[in-house]
Structures are given as C-alpha cells and as structure tokens.
C-alpha cells in the first residue's frame, strides 16, 4: 500500500479531514468521503462502503479503492479489471462494478 493510501486510511479511521496532493478525506457525522482529483470515489460509513469511479476508471482510482476495501471491507474484496471492464470481487464472486455500488 502506498504511503498516501496509508495516510488516507489513518484519516478515515481517525474520523478526521485530511488532504495530500490529489487525495482528500472529508468526514461528517461518522461518514468519510474520499476524493481523488476532486471526484468522489468512496463513501465509508460505520457498516457500509459505497464505491464510485469518479468518472475515471484509472489505476490510481482502483488503487485507492482497493486500499479502502483492504482496510474496511471484508476479506477478499477488491476491485479489478478484465477485458477493459471493472469488477468487484465480493463474497467470493466477481460482480460488475457500477458507480455508487454499496457493499455492506
């Protein structure tokens, strides 16, 4: 995990706002919103995670989402691409990624 992603995770766990270069965490009422280049890519609540691509299915977006899933998701959850399409490994099976999907 990249240093910026470690700092992002620490901010989410610490329930505090944080910003570094292209990544920002904004926390309000126990919900943390994560932005990449000003685009919302994740919303983390106490018992759920919402994933967004921010309009860019880039390697960096995928890396940030995977860092979040590693820290707050269930074991084995991850975002991956196959044949230029994104999927989420969820509960042992790949499901097509869509912006705004909620994992509980």
Residue 58 is part of which domain span? 3-103
DSSP conformational letter for 64: H
- Count structural domains, the chain: 1
Half-sphere exposure of 88 (CA within 13 A, CB side): 24
pTM flag (> 0.85):
yes
What are the pLDDT digits (tens) for 63-98?
Answer: 999 999 999 999 899 999 999 999 999 888 999 999
Backbone angles phi, psi at 57, to 5 degrees: -90, 70
Q: Are 11 and 28 in contact (CB under 8 A)?
A: no
User: Which residues, in sequence order, are CB contacts of 19 under 8 Å at separation 6+?
Assistant: 25
Q: How confident is the model at residue 104 (pLDDT cuts 50, 70, 90)?
A: confident
- Among candidate residues 29, 31, 68, the one with its CA nearest the CA of residue 51: 68
What are the pLDDT digits (tens) for 30-46?
Answer: 999 999 999 999 999 99
Q: How confident is the model at residue 19 (pLDDT cuts 50, 70, 90)?
A: very high
């Amino acid at each position: 995990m990249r240093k910026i992603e470690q700092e992002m995770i620490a901010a989410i766990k610490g329930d505090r706002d944080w910003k570094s270069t292209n990544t920002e965490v904004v926390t309000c009422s126990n919900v943390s919103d994560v932005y990449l280049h000003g685009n919302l890519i994740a919303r983390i609540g106490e018992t759920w995670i919402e994933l967004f691509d921010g309009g860019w299915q880039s390697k960096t977006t995928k890396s940030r989402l995977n860092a979040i899933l590693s820290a707050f998701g269930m074991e084995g959850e991850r975002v991956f691409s196959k044949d230029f399409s994104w999927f989420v490994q969820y509960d042992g099976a790949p499901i097509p990624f869509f912006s705004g999907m909620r994992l509980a």
